[in-house]
Amino acid sequence: MPELPDITIYIEALEQRVRVQVLEGTRLASPFVLRTVEPKLDAAAGRTVVELRRVGKRIAIGMDNGVWLVLHLMIAGRLHWKNRGAKIPGGRRGVAAFDFANGTLILTEAGTQKRASLHAVQGEAGIAALDPGGLEVMTSSAVDFESALKRENHTLKRALTDPRIFSGIGNAYSDEILHRACLSPVTLSGKLSTEDCERLHRAVIETLELWIAKLRAEAAGGFPEGVTAFREGMAVHGRYGQPCPVCGAKVQRIRYASNETNYCAKCQTGGKVLADRGLSRLMGSDWPRTLEELEFLPRR
């Protein structure tokens, strides 16, 4: 699932291409992607884009009449910038197209489980209704971070990825953050000292800043393609069995439901391997059955 760094780069690319441009129209290959009925999708047609905004892991495109088109890519949704009037890919992959005078934004989704969504909403109230309410970690203080982290007692893995607690962090970057902070993914948030919280806060900011910079350099002013949760240069995420870049120990994993957490035992757990059935049950009990369920937990 594209997370804060990926969404940030998508928005930067869209700023260059669609801001102050008129949306000529929207084509839907899959009617199921549209999750709202009011305002009508046509209310955005013929209107000028005046703002782009990240709302958690969503991309919000604001028009000059107060209508917002809000995209949630979920696990397999991706965006592509093509020549004006480009055809939506055939088969099950093509989802929607947004036509502008200078090009067309295509939404695709791999796989058979169609989870990507498009909402048309009116004004700030409509945007707020889609916002899970998590803390914006990049601009947060250490005090606010600790307060949000300890509001409920969850495993650190769950706390970091809960969109109602922190905005924009998902499965991939939470692994990287916990590795940088040298903290176990199964440590309960309520057990962290203020010093631990400050270290985790720094790790969040440093990790996200690092990957925003890397992805920005990779895009090099072009439209970001090849967006993935598994990137060359990651320390532990998606690297089960490979050497930790810090200590050389093999990266371990905990599997629970359809999810997986990667970590380095030497760097994060004092050498203790956590991937046993008991800890899988612990993670499972602290984690909804699917990423979609986690993403759409009701706002507190």
Record the pTM. Answer: 0.92
What pLDDT shows up at residue 203? 98
CA distances from 19 to 13, 48, 49, 62, 133 (A): 10, 8, 5, 9, 26
Distance CA 65, CA 242 (A): 52
- Please give the structure tokens belonging to residue 169: 């962090």
Residue 218 has pLDDT above 80, yes or no: yes
Judge whether 132 and 297 are in contact, CB under 8 Å.
yes
CA distance linking residue 273 with residue 129, whole number of Å:
41
Cα distance between residue 20 and residue 43, in whole Å: 17
Q: How many residues in total does the chain contain?
A: 300
- What confidence tens digit (pLDDT) does each residue in 246-287 have? 999 999 998 876 678 999 999 999 998 875 555 556 655 665
Q: What is the mean pLDDT of residues 32-50?
A: 97
Average pLDDT over residues 181-204: 97
291 has pLDDT over 60: no
Q: Residue 183 and residue 196: Cα distance in Å, rounded?
A: 8
Q: What is the pLDDT of residues 108-136, one digit of tens each?
A: 999 878 899 999 999 999 999 999 999 99
Average pLDDT, the chain: 92
- Residues 18, 49: Cα–Cα separation, whole Å: 7
Which helix (DSSP H) or strand (DSSP E) does residue 106 occupy?
strand 103-109
Give the C-alpha separation, 290 to 270, whole Å.
30
Single out the residue of 86, 125, 131, 91 nearest to residue 106, CA to CA.
Answer: 86
CA 131 distance to own-chain centroid:
13
DSSP type of residue 198: H
**What contacts 293, CB < 8 A, 6 or more positions away?**
none
C-alpha closest to that of 58 among 6, 125, 124, 135? 6
Residue 199: per-residue pLDDT: 98
Mean pLDDT of 219-224: 95
d(CA 49, CA 37): 21
3-state secondary structure of 146: helix
Show the DSSP H helices in the chain as ranges.
4-18, 123-130, 142-149, 156-161, 171-181, 194-219, 265-268, 277-285, 291-295
Q: What percent of the chain is modeled with pLDDT above 90?
A: 83
Domains (ranges, CATH) in the chain? 4-130 (3.20.190.10), 137-295 (1.10.8.50)
Distance CA 239, CA 252 (A): 8
Take residue 80 and report the two structure tokens written for it. Answer: 């592509």
Residue 55 has pLDDT above 60, yes or no: yes
Contacts 24+ apart (CB under 8 A), 38-47: 38/120, 38/122, 39/67, 39/120, 39/121, 39/122, 40/120, 41/69, 41/120, 43/67, 43/120, 44/69, 44/120, 46/22, 47/22, 47/23
Residue-level pLDDT at 290: 58
